[in-house]
């Protein structure tokens, strides 16, 4: 019993470390990003600069993405974890259909603010699929980049390494 439990824990740790290492190398070279100002679609309805100093997480999603919809409760947890650790959390919707986005925001409660994206910012951040989560250190350098659903545990550990 103890031996099988330790084997399961060992397998979990291997996959966890593999995910962390893969995410680190996926983020590319450590270059400072110069991010544009983006308008809020969901409160407080103003331009927001992503170049604020400090650690930040950028969650990029799309209204038509079924994985993004399923991921919403996990993202809300991630937002709370980031807030608790003093890390800025930005949610960027890819910006293809702002009317659809506004409709979704009216129908569903979002605990985090949503900014409207555009093709230029998606290209700058090297987004190749949705959802994408990018972790940026205080020097405005990407440290981790993940695509798909990221567990709150994986999210927390990435924040610790910023």
Give how far the C-alpha of residue 94 lies from the chain's centroid of Cα atoms, to the nearest Å.
13
Q: In whole angstroms, what is the distance from residue 115 CA to residue 132 CA?
A: 14
* 27 and 134 Cβ atoms separated by less than 8 Å: yes
Q: In whole angstroms, what is the distance from residue 27 CA to residue 160 CA?
A: 16
Full pLDDT tens readout for the chain, 162 residues: 777 887 877 777 777 777 777 777 666 666 777 777 787 776 655 666 777 888 999 999 999 999 998 999 999 999 999 999 999 999 999 988 888 888 888 888 887 888 888 888 899 888 999 999 999 999 888 889 999 998 888 898 899 888
Predicted pLDDT at 47: 61
Predicted pLDDT at 42: 66
Predicted pLDDT at 59: 96
Tell me the three state secondary structure of residue 106.
helix
Q: Which domains does the chain have, with CATH numbers?
A: 2-160 (3.40.30.10)
Alpha helices in the chain (DSSP H): 2-26, 66-84, 98-107, 119-124, 152-160
Predicted pLDDT at 99: 85
> pTM, whole model, 2 decimals?
0.81
């Amino acid at each position: 019993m103890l031996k099988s439990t330790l084997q399961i824990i060992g397998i979990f740790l291997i996959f966890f470390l593999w995910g962390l290492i893969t995410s680190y190398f996926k983020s590319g070279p450590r270059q400072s990003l110069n991010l544009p100002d983006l308008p809020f679609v969901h409160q407080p309805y103003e331009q927001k600069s992503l170049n604020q100093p400090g650690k930040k997480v950028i969650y990029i999603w799309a209204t038509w993405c079924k994985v993004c919809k399923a991921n919403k409760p996990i993202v809300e947890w991630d937002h709370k974890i980031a807030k608790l650790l003093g890390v800025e959390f930005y949610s960027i919707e890819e910006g293809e259909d702002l009317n659809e986005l506004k409709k979704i925001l009216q129908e569903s409660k979002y605990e985090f603010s949503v900014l409207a994206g555009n093709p230029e910012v998606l290209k700058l951040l090297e987004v190749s699929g949705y959802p994408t989560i990018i972790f940026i250190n205080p020097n405005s350098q990407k440290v981790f980049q993940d695509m798909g659903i990221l567990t709150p545990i994986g999210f927390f550990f990435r924040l610790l390494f910023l």
